[in-house]
Structure 1
Amino acid sequence: MKNCFVLEVILLYLISHVKMDNNFVFKLKDAPQLYKDFTKRYHRTFQSEYDYNQRYLNFIQTLRYINSINAQTFTQQKVLPNQFADYSDDERRDYLRKTAKRIDPELRMILRMNEDPEIS
């Protein structure tokens, strides 16, 4: 019950403070401010301007992916950015591999299927 309340509070905060339309589709013109808010929320630090720019581009790519999911009308599920929103695909994959023991077998199979085949 307590977890539901906390989740509701977080969702209400996001709905009131994050710039998106009624369908939870993020406006990419607001990406600089969204990323600034993201870096504050998740206490991100950067080693260089290059690192910042790469992570910002990853974040924008994630927003596009989120928008594509949230724009679908046949589902009521909506997706929001989480602490991994500025990770590259490789970083996400590495993170999932490290935590593979805690992942259900079906997801582990999907991860293996997405790997590039070895060329002999």
Structure 2
Amino acid sequence: MATEANAAPGSANDVVLQFIKALNEEDFAAARGHAADDLKFIGVLGERDGAEAYFTDMRRMKLKYDIKRVFSDGDDVCIFYDIDMGGTTIFSCGWYHVVDGKVNSIRVIFDPRPILEAKK
């Protein structure tokens, strides 16, 4: 991820990029260390309340993120990425909010049609 070099250590940008890197490496303990206990996830196909619910799904899905572009504004980080969802790659946008050095909320948007079509 070329964007890592631009992230100031300890910044929201840095926290989110470390979080994504740990998920890509399936180092869920490290990723969990970057997440708040009350993490809120809102996505196209559902919501998760709490870090444990989120990581239960992440351990099962083992998604891979190919970051295309990162934008940050204070405690908010927006990432455009391709997400490999086990054979189906979806271009997505994730909005991450960091509180006290931990990812506190994630909102992901994408076109779900390729996933829904694959399930038919």
TM-score, normalised relative to structure 1 = 0.32
Tell me which protein shows more strand as a share of its residues. 2
Look at both structures and tell me which one has the larger radius of gyration over its CA atoms.
1
Tell me which protein shows more helix as a share of its residues. 1
Q: Which has the higher contact order (CA 8 A, sep 6+)?
A: 2
TM-score, normalised relative to structure 2 = 0.32
